[in-house]
């Protein structure tokens, strides 16, 4: 076998997700795509805002020196400056443009930061439920993902996090608003987390960084998303324009390093070098210019609220045990009957596709990505009801 062993294992261990997708494709072929209600992918259903589409056409039509060319690995200077001002304001700190590094989406930005921070065997701590790609991102760079259970209702369990921190802990990763639960961690929890990290940093004599993965910051339904950079010095925010501009396929994101972080300058140098040597080289050029031209503009987020309000109360009426999401376009109910794989299969028989909770480290739940057309939500409710009856 020529394939690297760990990659062969990764392909094999992704097989249940793959099987699920293949089932979805088969169902769509068999019954017609319009008959299948596909809630399995976090692919925003909303078109990009008009301001972005106009900015893109404008930039694409302009002539300027260096258009489409290499720029410094950290990104265009004017784009970094614009993002620094915008992110600093959202986070409640003064952020110099030198502290922003443009990335190939949040996935690229997280890989860059993990590579810059992890020595072999170092641990990355994440609270469940979480986006399990974090495990691969850690392992890509010699690290290990250590997951920690949450409190009922998905808030962070600070005691559990404190117990998970060791001299091997390089960083804690936090995703708020959270994929898959839709939870926004409240400011009091985050202040508590900052205290836990400061204590462990003192105790172990090693600075623990806090990495905030924030691509859903703009998708909220009233509850504020606290600015982490103002709450903990050794912090880094990684985000992307994928969700707020509905352009996930364009792979545009950014990294912001707190000026108060230990070794901030070395960390920025490291992030720039890692951007280069991981083969990203730089974030896509034209998209940098287009996104920077419409910072703060978002896709029609009221539409996600409408979709949430179409879906969640209806699921509760059926009997689903569900914490209403405060942000994101995901809901994460308990799987009726308790077995997430069995329940996902029961839903498939109703031509409704979702992801089992074990894909996010929590068996017994399932994720609904409701970033779909309203009528798919409406049509799916009979299937959600039938599968509920079948499994309870």
Q: Exposed e or buried b for every residue in 138-163, given b needs 16+ CB within 10 A?
A: bbebebbbbbbebeeebbbbbebbbe
- The owner of tokens 């088969």 is 26
Q: Tell me how far, at minimum, the Cβ of 252 lies from its own copies, in Å.
A: 8
Cα–Cα dist 185/164, whole Å:
19
Cα–Cα dist 275/138, whole Å:
16
Q: What is the DSSP secondary structure assignment for residue 327, as one 8-state letter?
A: B
Which tokens belong to 208?
């623990």
49 binds its own copies (CB under 8 A): no
What string of DSSP letters covers 101-137?
EEESHHHHHHHHHHHHHPPTT-EEEEESS--THHHHH
Contacts of 377 (CB under 8 A, 6+ apart): 37, 307, 310, 311, 370
Closest-CA residue to 212 (of 226, 195, 202, 199):
226
Is residue 145 a contact partner of residue 124, using CB atoms and an 8 Å limit? yes
Task: Identify which of residues 39 and 388 has a Cβ nearer to its own copies in the complex.
Answer: 39
- Of residues 10 through 39, those in contact with its own copies by CB under 8 A are 10-11, 14
Q: Tell me how far, at minimum, the Cβ of 13 lies from its own copies, in Å.
A: 10
Task: Identify which of residues 2 and 302 has a Cβ nearer to its own copies in the complex.
Answer: 2
Is residue 246 a contact partner of residue 48, using CB atoms and an 8 Å limit? yes
Closest-CA residue to 132 (of 13, 216, 49, 249):
13
Contacts of 300 (CB under 8 A, 6+ apart): 46, 49
Is residue 133 a contact partner of residue 87, using CB atoms and an 8 Å limit? no
Task: Identify which of residues 283 and 335 has a Cβ nearer to its own copies in the complex.
Answer: 283
- Of residues 105 through 164, those in contact with its own copies by CB under 8 A are 105, 107-111, 115-119, 122, 133, 136-137, 140-141
Task: Identify which of residues 6 and 317 has a Cβ nearer to its own copies in the complex.
Answer: 6
- Of residues 271 through 310, those in contact with its own copies by CB under 8 A are 273-274, 276-287
Task: Identify which of residues 228 and 312 has a Cβ nearer to its own copies in the complex.
Answer: 228
Q: Tell me how far, at minimum, the Cβ of 386 lies from its own copies, in Å.
A: 29
Size of site (CB under 8 A) for its own copies: 76
104 binds its own copies (CB under 8 A): yes
Q: Which stretch binds its own copies (CB under 8 A): 40-48, 188-196, 343-351, 380-388?
A: 40-48
Task: Identify which of residues 172 and 315 has a Cβ nearer to its own copies in the complex.
Answer: 172
- Of residues 198 through 257, those in contact with its own copies by CB under 8 A are 207, 209, 234, 245-251
Task: Identify which of residues 292 and 326 has a Cβ nearer to its own copies in the complex.
Answer: 292
Q: Tell me how far, at minimum, the Cβ of 391 lies from its own copies, in Å.
A: 30
305, exposed or middle or buried, with CB in 10 Å at 0-12, 13-18, 19+?
A: middle
| Spacing of C-alpha 226 from chain mean position | 16
- Of residues 169 through 188, those in contact with its own copies by CB under 8 A are none
Binding mask 59-98 for its own copies (x = CB under 8 A): -xx-x--xxxxxx---------------------------
Among 24, 48, 129, 336, binds its own copies (CB under 8 A): 48
Cα–Cα dist 366/391, whole Å:
14
Q: Which stretch binds its own copies (CB under 8 A): 58-66, 178-186, 331-339, 355-363?
A: 58-66
Task: Identify which of residues 212 and 274 has a Cβ nearer to its own copies in the complex.
Answer: 274
Q: Tell me how far, at minimum, the Cβ of 284 lies from its own copies, in Å.
A: 5
Among 7, 153, 205, 222, binds its own copies (CB under 8 A): 7
Q: Tell me how far, at minimum, the Cβ of 174 lies from its own copies, in Å.
A: 18
């Amino acid at each position: 076998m020529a394939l690297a062993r760990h990659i062969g294992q990764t392909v094999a261990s992704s097989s249940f997700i793959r099987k699920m997708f293949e089932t979805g494709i088969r169902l769509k072929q068999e019954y017609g795509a319009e008959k299948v209600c596909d809630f399995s992918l976090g692919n925003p259903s909303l078109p990009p805002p008009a301001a972005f589409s106009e900015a893109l056409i404008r930039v694409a039509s302009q002539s300027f020196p260096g258009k489409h060319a290499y720029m410094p690995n950290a990104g265009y200077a004017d784009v970094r400056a614009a993002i620094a001002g915008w992110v600093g304001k959202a986070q409640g700190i003064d952020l110099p443009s030198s502290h922003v590094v443009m990335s190939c989406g949040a996935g690229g930005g997280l890989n860059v930061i993990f590579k810059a921070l992890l020595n072999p065997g170092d641990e990355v701590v994440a609270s469940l439920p979480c986006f399990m790609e974090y495990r691969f991102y850690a392992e890509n760079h010699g690290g290990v993902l250590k997951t920690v259970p949450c409190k009922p209702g998905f808030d962070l369990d600070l005691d559990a996090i404190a117990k998970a921190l060791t001299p091997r802990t390089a960083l804690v990763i936090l995703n708020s608003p959270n994929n898959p639960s839709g939870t926004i961690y409240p400011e009091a929890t985050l202040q508590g987390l900052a205290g836990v990290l400061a204590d462990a940093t003192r105790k172990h004599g090693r600075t623990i960084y806090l990495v905030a993965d924030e691509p859903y910051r703009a998708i909220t339904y009233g509850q504020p998303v606290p600015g982490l950079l103002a709450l903990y010095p050794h912090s880094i925010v990684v985000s992307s324009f994928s969700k707020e501009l509905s352009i996930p396929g364009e792979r545009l994101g950014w990294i912001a390093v707190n000026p108060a972080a230990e070794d901030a300058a070395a960390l920025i140098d490291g992030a720039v070098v890692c951007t280069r040597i991981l083969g990203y080289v730089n974030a896509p050029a034209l998209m940098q210019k287009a996104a920077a031209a419409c910072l703060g503009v978002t896709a029609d987020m009221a539409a996600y609220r409408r979709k949430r309000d179409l879906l969640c109360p209806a699921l509760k009426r059926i009997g689903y045990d569900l914490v209403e999401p405060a942000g994101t376009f995901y809901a994460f109910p308990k799987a009726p009957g308790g077995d997430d794989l069995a329940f996902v299969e029961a839903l498939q028989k109703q031509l409704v596709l979702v992801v089992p909770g074990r894909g996010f480290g929590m068996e017994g739940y399932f994720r609904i990505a409701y970033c779909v057309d309203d009528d798919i939500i409406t049509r799916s409710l009979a299937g959600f009801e039938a599968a509920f009856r079948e499994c309870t």
